[in-house]
Amino acid sequence: MAITKKDVKLLKSQRLSDTDDGGGRATGEAVTDNKINDVFPNISRLDRTIGHVNVRKLFAGVQTETNDGYLGAHAIIAESPADPLVDTLLFNTGSQTDERKDAQSVIEGYVVPSVIADFDLMGDQFKGQRQLSAVAFETRPVPEVGDVFQLVTDTAEQFVRLTEVEHEMREFHYVDDSGKLLTFWRRYLRLSISSALLYKFPGGQVVPEGVTERNLDGEKITRVRATQVADSARYFGVNKLAQSVSAGSLTLQVESIYSQLVPSTIKENILVDQIAGSRKRYNVATANSDRTINLTFTSSASGQSRSFIGTGVYRGSLVLTVSGSVYRDNGAGELKLSSGGANFDRITIDYESGMLTAFRPSAYTGSASVTYRTGVAATNQSVTGEIEIKLGNRGYAYTLNLSEAKPRPATLTISFMALGRWYQLRDEGDGQLIGEGAGAVDFATGSVALTLDALPDVGSSIIYDYVAQDDFNFAVHTGASLDSPIKIVQELKNKGLDPASIKVTTKHGGVTKTMTSNEHGQITGEVGTGFINAADGILNLVITQTLDLGSAIDVQYEFGTNVSTNLTLGADGGGMTIGTIPGAPFKPGSISFTWDVKRKGKVPVFNRAGDRGLDATASLDVYDTEALVTRNVTDDGNGKWRGVDGQINYQTGEFSIRTETTYTVNEYYINYRRSNKPELAHTQSTERERFTGTIIVKAQEASVSYGGERESIPAPQLVVDLLPNVGDSIVPGSLLLKWGSSLYVDRDGVLYKDIDHTTNAGTAVGRVDYAGRQITLASWPSNVSTKVERLSCLTTAVGFGTQRVFFRTAGSPLRPASLQITAVRIDTGEVVTATPNLNGDVSSGIIHGHVDARTGIARLQFTTDPDDDSGLSDVPVIAALLRYNAVLQTSMPMDAKLLGLNPVRLPADGRVPIYREGDVLVIHHTQATAVEPAAGKTITLNRAEQAEIYVVDAEGNRLDEEQYETEREEGTLTFANPLLLQQEDGELLVPPFKIMDRIEHMTVCTEAQITGLVEINSPLSFDAPAGETMVSSALTWGDMQSRLYRWFTQKTWSTGNPNWSDNPVGDQTTANYNTLNYPPIVTNTGAIAGKWALVFTSTTAFQVVEEKLGIITVGNVSQDCSPINPATNTPYFVIKKEGWGTGWASGNAVRFNTDSCLGPMWVVRSIQAGKGAVKDDHFKLQVRGDAD
């Protein structure tokens, strides 16, 4: 008998509950169509308040006494609940026996562990905490809000989602095994999490190489793993068509490709003063040549040895010779064996601190040597770019051509968005891209190949940023010997000094040396020269031999009073200012002039497109900047000025002075000569300062009277002007100076000498003024020559501008219209701001562009006319000063205990896609036609070729199909005669009545975008109106049919270790069953998916055993074996007595498997918090298939 509609049932599982054992096997009880609460319970007030998730297991089953096949079986949700706060989904685990806890594991498999995270827990984190303390190296990326991590110990594990991220740099101290104190900096992280910790998670103590392997109690520390989306469960649901489409279309626009799996709420996080664009910290060489030094390794921990170079190291430059072997730096922090024996398991280098760590079973203590180039971690604006993702270029593999500005090692990061979440790949320095994908970068050519772990979302972008190798912002200054650079600048207690009265005594090698001034204020002596600014009382000495450390400077002088006045004057065409000081005559050597001048600078904005040699295009705009510089000059006592042109007449007060001097300015241009491509280059030109017009004068009258003073200045500080002819700032951490036999390095503004290679500690001797390019010493070697050599020094130029910026915010989505961008104009210094409208469009003053709130991508242009493509309207802004504020929206799922699911392992917003590439889709439209049933009456509908026609009453109950006939090809329905208006079970229906007819188109999804765009592989067969047409994704089982298969015998059956595999263990029996002439019988109603064994207890009797059900009955070869399935009251199978052969013995077994005609599925009902819109809601689930 063929399978009919009535034979296809939706069957309940053993337990329709949300307990761990909910679900299980199929029962014989069918779900009653249109019956309230037959599958799910009522929605409670608590469910409406906080949200809830119900999960139920059902089966599609064919109940026939044959094993006819049900072909192409599948199920769809044909109609979603009317309440917008309720969603329904289908998914399949593939098991006919699993329970809710098993299904939960599949659901929570959306997020799985991947690589080790970029941070470690700092100290123990205790049960109940909602914030983690962690530590990371400064160069590692900072985690973002919404990221999920797994905490793992030997006894516990937990996934955590970040809801807030705060970080700062902190100084740490560590005492190693030898008792030596080490000081270092790490990034400290405060990570708020969505759910409290369920267990204690041990954390390590911070040490130079990371954290300790055990906590203070000796417990192994927690392993922190990043996660990636595995999306192990596929979900199926229904959504409405958002736009009408015509027959023949291959593209659909649905309202959303997502459906709600778990309820969630929106939490807002404020992002303040974030850098707009990427400023990267990266490794830069600070010298032009290598240096070689000897080191000593000491034991730092079990199996570890450590040594410190004392400076930063340029990535990829280090060669280590140790224990007879040579190791070379691979550029990614690892030293690889180059020659000799493999005496170490691993050797690492921390480029920033210069720490070498060697690993082997027993710690190594001994000497080594290294050759390397000094380096520093510098911060600068990076090159950014994007590949916009559209339907035509969406894929897994991409290439980048960065040849026009090749990336520096360890600076390239690539971000992409998949299913609404950002993922990242990065180069560690060895050219290999790691993270959520793989790839490689060729630093010589700039070529990049990458493969993503997931398809990027259409409408998003693949964003890359890096620092270019040709970075003209930096300059190396090494090798020069500075003669007599040591200065002592001391402000004395009094002003208005007698220039001829100065006597300075110092000690050098215990010997007192004297310097004196003449009537002009010039100071000379055995160990130095200088002058006195008599008006301001400032002593200026330049010494050729250092003072004894701890000694004092004794200064004797006479002082009187100053007269002060302000002169308003101008400068002539040659930069000279002429005037008269009132109150003359004046004492020679007593006059001080102070005035301000303005200096212009040049800021280039260089844009290049293409990589076609001379055909490449480039544009260059250069903008002026202005700085105010203060000048202070004193007279030399001989009628002239110190350091500038001019004269002073002491008797009359008449003077001339050069108030405007010349200076060098970089002039930028586009150069094609070096690489046959347009590059930024510069020459130097001379400009003249602009005098602001006011001179502040201090002087002493010729008749001034003096009183004597003697000052003893303890421990005076020495000042070294490192780069007297350079205007750029020194990069912190780039200094390595040699003075006598000592080496000096800078760390965070402090100058240290004689770094210990075993501890990385040195003696603090002074401080560094990076902007002023000076060091000030509080400690120095006594009585030595004042020659200082720069072995390493890097300067940086700042203030470069941009006319466009492209960046993504630190997380997404954003609250619409919440982003505020702040920029500083280069031409005027004006601060400008802008905010997008609700559509993301930006148009305010000079700031124009668009901000995508969904992805967090911002594309901005700074111009007075956004429609002007010539560039003439562009306005440059200072790239380093671009900032933004924004409100980040994060979805916070509800508590795991209340949901019965762990929301941390689910998508952050609780939504999952229900349309995917390869899914079977059913596009269907159902219309209702009012009807008054009458016996024998025929109704012709307004369309034909329906998939289904049926009749319902006022309550949605179906009329028994025996009461009408349909001709779907013609679109007609004829009522029976006589006509009984009743359901299949005989219950009377309630008028009025409607004829429901559905047309549909089955197809395959070839593309699904987060924008709601869905592509199909066959043209739509009907015109589909928006809002009425439904698009259902189908959960498919394929052909379903009960069967018995994989029959074999086994001579020995082990009850303690039964063989449930599909192959015999050991010898088979000589006795057998004649399956050819007496084949076992199974039916669709009785059969289950199971593994069976008939285990003989004698020569004729046997037990009937199922893998999961155990022993269910006993049998005998003299009778038919037909164990009853209690769910359907029909046999699981029938084995005919006539088929048994002879020769059976106790312990023999017959093994076989059975398949059912059942399709298992899990149905999810997700309830969002909020007031319900429908009193008695429902959804439609349809089981579908074909039969002969």
Contacts of 414 (CB under 8 A, 6+ apart): 424, 425, 426, 433, 439, 448, 450, 462, 463, 464
- Burial string for 896-905 (b: 16+ CB within 10 Å, else e) reads beebbbbbbb
Q: Are 367 and 298 in a shared domain?
A: yes
DSSP three-state, residue 107: helix
Do 848 and 863 contact (CB within 8 A), yes or no?
yes
Task: Give me the residue label for tokens 């930063």.
Answer: 312
Q: Are 636 and 515 in a shared domain?
A: no
H-type helices in 821-973, by residue range?
Answer: 896-899
Tell whether 1002 is covered by a domain: no
pLDDT digits (tens, 9 = 90+) for 1077-1128: 999 999 999 999 999 999 999 999 999 999 999 999 999 999 999 999 999 9
Tell whether 459 is covered by a domain: yes
Tell whether 471 is covered by a domain: no
Q: Are 1054 and 1103 in a shared domain?
A: yes
Q: Are 346 and 326 in a shared domain?
A: yes
Question: CA-CA distances (angstroms) from residue 624 to 109, 604, 667, 689, 877?
Answer: 58, 9, 11, 14, 12
Rg (CA), the chain: 42
pLDDT at 710: 92
pLDDT digits (tens, 9 = 90+) for 88-138: 999 999 999 999 999 988 888 888 888 899 999 999 999 999 999 999 988
Rounded-to-integer distance, Cα 21 and Cα 99, Å: 5
Q: Are 907 and 840 in a shared domain?
A: no
Task: Report, as an integer, the average pLDDT of 1174-1180.
Answer: 85
Mean pLDDT of the chain: 88
Name the token pair of 626. 């202005």
Burial (Cβ within 10 Å: 0-12, 13-18, ≥19) of residue 1126: exposed
What is the largest distance, in Å, between two alpha-carbon atoms of the chain? 144
Do 132 and 193 contact (CB within 8 A), yes or no?
yes
pLDDT at 484: 45
β-pairing, 847-852 with 679-688?
A: unpaired
β-pairing, 841-844 with 920-931?
A: unpaired
Residue, of 267 and 464, whose pLDDT is higher: 464
pLDDT digits (tens, 9 = 90+) for 183-234: 788 999 999 998 899 999 999 999 888 899 899 999 999 999 998 777 678 9
Do 483 and 542 contact (CB within 8 A), yes or no?
no
pLDDT at 1157: 96
Tell whether 477 is covered by a domain: no
Q: Which of 278-282, 595-599, 620-624, 1160-1164 has the highest mean pLDDT?
A: 1160-1164
Task: Give me the residue label for tokens 């993504």.
Answer: 808
pLDDT digits (tens, 9 = 90+) for 806-832: 888 888 888 888 899 988 887 776 888
Rounded-to-integer distance, Cα 618 and Cα 677, Å: 9
Rounded-to-integer distance, Cα 998 and Cα 1116, Å: 54
Contacts of 679 (CB under 8 A, 6+ apart): 470, 608, 670, 671, 672
Q: Which of 284-293, 533-542, 816-825, 1112-1121 has the highest mean pLDDT?
A: 1112-1121
Backbone angles phi, psi at 1073, to 5 degrees: -120, 140
DSSP type of residue 109: G
Angle at 567 between CA 563 and CA 571, to 5 degrees: 140
Contacts within 8 Å (CB) and 24+ apart, 122-125: 122/188, 122/203, 122/204, 122/205, 122/206, 122/211, 123/203, 123/204, 123/205, 123/215, 124/200, 124/201, 124/202, 124/203, 124/215, 124/216, 124/217, 125/151, 125/197, 125/200, 125/201, 125/203, 125/222
Name the token pair of 1034. 């189908």
Do 99 and 1166 contact (CB within 8 A), yes or no?
no
Tell whether 1058 is covered by a domain: yes
pLDDT at 680: 67
Do 546 and 692 contact (CB within 8 A), yes or no?
no
Q: Which of 318-322, 378-382, 888-892 has the highest mean pLDDT?
A: 318-322
Question: CA-CA distances (angstroms) from residue 464 to 330, 407, 426, 814?
Answer: 23, 11, 10, 21
pLDDT at 1111: 96
Closest alpha carbon to 858 in 827, 831, 822, 890: 822
The DSSP H or E segment spanning 207 is strand 206-207
Q: Are 1150 and 1162 in a shared domain?
A: no
pLDDT at 403: 81
Judged against a pLDDT cut of 60, whether residue 1041 lies above it is answered with yes
The DSSP H or E segment spanning 102 is helix 100-107
SS3 sequence of 1077-1090:
CCCCECCCCCCCCE
Do 900 and 828 contact (CB within 8 A), yes or no?
no
Do 1180 and 82 contact (CB within 8 A), yes or no?
no
Q: Are 553 and 572 in a shared domain?
A: no
Name the token pair of 154. 């030997």
Task: Report, as an integer, the average pLDDT of 522-529.
Answer: 89
Q: Could you tell me which residues are beta bridge partners of residue 834?
A: 821
Q: Are 1029 and 1178 in a shared domain?
A: yes
Rounded-to-integer distance, Cα 1163 and Cα 973, Å: 33
pLDDT digits (tens, 9 = 90+) for 423-448: 889 888 888 998 888 899 998 888 99
Q: Could you tell me which residues are beta bridge partners of residue 966?
A: 973
Do 129 and 274 contact (CB within 8 A), yes or no?
no
Task: Report, as an integer, the average pLDDT of 1123-1143.
Answer: 96
Rounded-to-integer distance, Cα 119 and Cα 714, Å: 48
Q: Are 1075 and 1173 in a shared domain?
A: no
Select from 838, 873, 891 the last residue of a domain. 891
Q: Are 1113 and 1126 in a shared domain?
A: yes
Closest alpha carbon to 1107 in 1162, 1066, 1046: 1046
Judged against a pLDDT cut of 60, whether residue 673 lies above it is answered with no
Q: How sure is the predictor about 628, in pLDDT bands with cuts at 50, 70 and 90?
A: confident
Identify whether 582 is preceded by a cis peptide bond (ω within 30 of 0): no
pLDDT at 611: 43
Which CATH number fits the domain that encloses residue 878? 2.60.40
Judged against a pLDDT cut of 70, whether residue 843 lies above it is answered with yes
Task: Report, as an integer, the average pLDDT of 983-995.
Answer: 93
Q: How sure is the predictor about 892, in pLDDT bands with cuts at 50, 70 and 90?
A: low
Tell whether 478 is covered by a domain: no
pLDDT digits (tens, 9 = 90+) for 996-1027: 999 999 999 998 888 889 999 999 999 999 99
DSSP three-state, residue 118: coil
Rounded-to-integer distance, Cα 413 and Cα 144, Å: 15
Q: Are 568 and 556 in a shared domain?
A: no
Q: Are 452 and 488 in a shared domain?
A: no
Task: Report, as an integer, the average pLDDT of 927-949.
Answer: 95
Task: Report, as an integer, the average pLDDT of 609-622.
Answer: 52
How many separate domains does the chain show? 9
Contacts of 1076 (CB under 8 A, 6+ apart): none
User: What is the extent of the structural domain holding 634?
Assistant: 563-703
Backbone angles phi, psi at 306, to 5 degrees: -145, 145
Burial (Cβ within 10 Å: 0-12, 13-18, ≥19) of residue 1: exposed
Question: CA-CA distances (angstroms) from residue 179 to 299, 300, 366?
Answer: 11, 10, 18
Contacts of 856 (CB under 8 A, 6+ apart): 422, 808, 809, 810, 811, 812, 813, 814, 886
Expressed in angstroms, the distance from the first to the final Cα of the chain is: 10
Detail the DSSP E strand segments found in 419-510: 421-427, 432-435, 437-441, 447-452, 461-466, 474-476, 481-482, 486-491, 503-508
pTM of the predicted model over 0.75 = no
Determine what percent of the chain is predicted with pLDDT higher than 90.
51
pLDDT at 639: 93
Tell whether 589 is covered by a domain: yes
Do 406 and 464 contact (CB within 8 A), yes or no?
no
Closest alpha carbon to 533 in 667, 642, 418, 676: 642
Question: In whole angstroms, what separates CA 603 from the centre of its chain?
Answer: 33
pLDDT at 674: 47
Task: Give me the residue label for tokens 């019956």.
Answer: 35
Q: Could you tell me which residues are beta bridge partners of residue 158?
A: 151
Rounded-to-integer distance, Cα 274 and Cα 856, Å: 13
Select from 695, 721, 747 the last residue of a domain. 721
Judged against a pLDDT cut of 80, whether residue 893 lies above it is answered with no
DSSP three-state, residue 1105: strand
pLDDT digits (tens, 9 = 90+) for 374-397: 998 876 667 778 888 887 788 889
pLDDT at 873: 84
Burial (Cβ within 10 Å: 0-12, 13-18, ≥19) of residue 973: buried
Q: How sure is the predictor about 471, in pLDDT bands with cuts at 50, 70 and 90?
A: low
pLDDT at 264: 77
The letter for the amino acid at 534 is A
Least confident piece of the model among 155-159, 292-296, 356-360, 415-419: 415-419
Closest alpha carbon to 89 in 242, 253, 233: 233
Rounded-to-integer distance, Cα 988 and Cα 909, Å: 46
Name the token pair of 86. 């309720």
Question: CA-CA distances (angstroms) from residue 958 to 4, 679, 941, 952?
Answer: 17, 78, 18, 4
Tell whether 786 is covered by a domain: no
